[in-house]
C-alpha cells in the first residue's frame, strides 16, 4: 500500500492557505520537519499524525491513504 501522506498534507495545506512555517507553528514541529514530510524524506510519528488530523479535522486513515476523500 502506498502511503499518500505527503500528497494529502500538501492538499490540506493548500485548502487552508497554510505554508510550512504556519503549519509547523500550529502542530508544534519545526518547519524543516514539515518540509521533510512533503519531500517524502521522513514520515511523521503517530503523535504528529494525530495533531495534524485534529488540526485539519480529518482521520489519520485519510492522511495515510487508507480512506478516500
According to the model, what pLDDT value does residue 68 have?
73
According to the model, what pLDDT value does residue 36 have?
96
Domain ranges of the chain: 5-64
According to the model, what pLDDT value does residue 1 have?
43
Q: At a CB cut-off of 8 Å and minimum separation 6, what does 7 contact?
A: none
According to the model, what pLDDT value does residue 20 have?
97
CA proximity to 30, closest of 21, 42, 39: 21
Q: Which parts of the chain sit beneath pLDDT 50? A: 1
Reported CATH class of domain 5-64:
mainly alpha
According to the model, what pLDDT value does residue 69 have?
66
With residues binned 3-state (H G I as helix, E B as strand, rest as coil), the percentages for the chain, rounded to 5, are 65, 0, 35
Give yes or no for a contact between 20 and 63, defined as CB atoms under 8 angstroms apart. no
What pTM was estimated for this model as a whole?
0.89
Amino acid at each position: 500500500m502506498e502511503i499518500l501522506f505527503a500528497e494529502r498534507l500538501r492538499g490540506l495545506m493548500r485548502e487552508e492557505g497554510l505554508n510550512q512555517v504556519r503549519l509547523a507553528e500550529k502542530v508544534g514541529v519545526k518547519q524543516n520537519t514539515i518540509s521533510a514530510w512533503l519531500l517524502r524524506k521522513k514520515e511523521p510519528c503517530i503523535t504528529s499524525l494525530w495533531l495534524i488530523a485534529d488540526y485539519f479535522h480529518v482521520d489519520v486513515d485519510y492522511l495515510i491513504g487508507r480512506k478516500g476523500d
